[in-house]
Amino acid sequence: MTFVVEVDVPVPMRDGVALATNLWRLEGPGPFPVLLVRTPYGKDDAGTFGNPKLPDVFALVEAGYAVVAQDVRGTSRSPGTFVPHVHEGSDGFDTLQWLAGQPWCDGAVGMWGGSYMGFTQWQAAVRGAPALRAIAPVMSSADPYRAPWYSSGGALSQDAVLTWGTLSALRNLGRDLTDGRGDESDARVLMAGLADPRLLHEPLPVAERDAMTRNLPWVGEVLGHPERDAFWRQAAAIDRCDRITVPALHVGGWYDVFIGETVRSYTTMCRHGGSTEAREGQRLIVGPWCHADGTDLGTFPDRSFGLEGSIKAADVTAAHLRFFDRWVRGRTDTPDDPHPVRIFVMGIDQWRDEADWPLPDTRYTDFFLAGGGRANTAAGDGILTRDGAAMEAVDTFLYDPRRPVPTVGGTVLAAVPGVYPGPADQAAVEAREDVLCFTTAVLERPVEVTGHVTLVLHVSSSAPDTDVTGKLVDVRPDGKAILVCEGIQRARYRRSLTEPEPLEPGTIYELTIDLCVTSNVFLPGHRIRLEVSSSNFPRYDRNTNTGATIANDGDDDLAVAVNRVHHGPARPSRLVLPLIERPATSTTEAEVPA
């Protein structure tokens, strides 16, 4: 099979900038349907563009597609200045229009790609180019505020902003140095931050990252917009989903920084997409993966999901081809996935097809916080029970932003040595006095939790602002406490992400914390645990407890907060779990994985 390859084809944009573009296609005149990927990471890395979660380029070409890869504005060999999110809508539209006019294109184009490459798809899809027939965002977001730069609860995703910002600043600096500009000392500072995570996240304030903001000023803009204001809304395609008329294949991982928005994009488009095809053509695949490369075999330091959990078992290339054959080629006779949702169920470590998300047979069940008010550490008296708490109690801890609870695993990018994402053992975290632990009795039968996990807490604080964090943990018979999912709520954003409202110190508030989504069977002999605290650093930035923003104001205005969790009949603090009870989830002791 002979390929035709064209490199650095200039594709003109409306303002005269020509973006460098590569083309792979089979030999012959065509015309071919086209699959477009727009990337800031370098279009010349063929294959999977360094990401095993993406389809193989050459498999797409062999299937009869022309594959087009483009360096987004201001990256690699495309001229201009790279400002994340700003040009992707118009540049994507112009590229789609140019492709539709090429003699080797049959007029039908699909878009694909992961992470930032997903941003480019959502923002192009909102523009409504006639040639665009489908998109396939992998581990990405249609709302950049909520993921990855901030959280649904309003906390800065410091790990994501500084890690990705440093890498992007280095790429920009490399271009400048090649052109005889830039400061080589900045390169040393940026590289040092990636080599040692302490240098990346310390000292305070976050905004004093001169080497980063000189080479990627956009980071300063991110830190300057802590609310979900117009700066963020203009980049949020999900706010204009009624203008998106094409189907989407959503691929995510339970431990990916984007997973909450991956799932929300799917459900929102199913309900509010701009056409029947868009609403009915959504597909969702979620595996036991994180964002970082190198975990694609489904194996992490503290937990292995076996061969079934690997990218190979998921066969993302075949899934992309089925999806594109149906919606880009328009082959209505192509065998489509009979179920729109395919998820990996952790615990039993099996793939399962589902009719919808949330699962139609979901039963949201309250697990109440109880105990005598000494839930500090895993050795405390915190109880998690389906029965309502019998008595009123208050659990108290001190949150000191100078001594935050360290991030261990979870949805981190983990581009630094010594830090890894995913299902990590929380034992060290649970030994801290500023971490409250509420645990069920040992389970006698399997309990499946699949869907959106929510924590409702009655809290008071000595501070005008503080954070509340929650983690759902699977406690194994050997004592390992494996993180399942997590979330955070910045108290001043408890009512709105656009209009912060301080706390009245000492007043009790009911806060709802989004702990994101998961699918996990808690097996017999295991226990379900909830962790509650006020920090998860550097996954999220630290709350100063004063109302100031640590990213901009530094550590001169930090305070220790006395935070209290109230529970009992009058204050029903509770973990709300999406339980699935069906015969298929039954697991005997003989079936329990080692």
d(CA 129, CA 124) in angstroms, rounded, equals 8
Cβ atoms < 10 Å from Cβ of 4: 14
d(CA 454, CA 512) in angstroms, rounded, equals 7
Q: State CA 501 to chain mean position distance.
A: 27
SS3 state of residue 343: strand
Phi, psi of 317 (to 5 degrees): -65, -45
- What's the length of the chain? 594
Cβ atoms < 10 Å from Cβ of 391: 11
Cβ atoms < 10 Å from Cβ of 464: 18
- Looking at the DSSP bridge assignments, the partners of residue 487 are 470
Nearest partner of 67 among 1, 140, 131, 4, judged by Cα: 4
Nearest partner of 328 among 121, 130, 63, 108, judged by Cα: 108
d(CA 503, CA 507) in angstroms, rounded, equals 8
Work out whether strand 283-290 and strand 341-345 pair parallel, antiparallel, or are unpaired.
Answer: parallel
Question: Do 412 and 419 meet the contact criterion of CB atoms below 8 Å apart?
Answer: yes
Long-range contact pairs involving 8-16 (C-beta distance under 8 Å, separation at least 24): 8/77, 11/70, 11/94, 11/95, 11/98, 12/94, 12/98, 13/73, 13/90, 13/91, 13/94, 13/95, 14/90, 14/94
Phi and psi based region of residue 327 (left: phi greater than 0; alpha: psi -120 to 50; beta: remaining):
alpha
d(CA 330, CA 353) in angstroms, rounded, equals 24
DSSP-assigned letters across all residues of 409-438: SBS----STT---BS-B-TTGGGSTT-EEE
* 583 preceded by a cis bond (ω within 30 of 0): no
Amino acid at 472: L
- Report in angstroms the alpha-carbon separations of 9 from 22, 72, 101, 187, 203: 6, 13, 14, 30, 44
Question: Do 332 and 546 meet the contact criterion of CB atoms below 8 Å apart?
Answer: no
CA angle 263, 269, 273 (to 5 degrees): 175
* Diameter over CA atoms, the chain: 77
Question: Do 559 and 463 meet the contact criterion of CB atoms below 8 Å apart?
Answer: yes
- Alpha helix locations (H) across 152-229? 158-178, 184-195, 197-201, 210-215, 218-223
Work out whether strand 481-490 and strand 467-475 pair parallel, antiparallel, or are unpaired.
Answer: antiparallel
* Catalytic annotation, residues: 115, 256, 291
CB crowding 405-427: b at 16 or more within 10 Å, else e: bebbbbbbbbbbeebbbbbbbbb
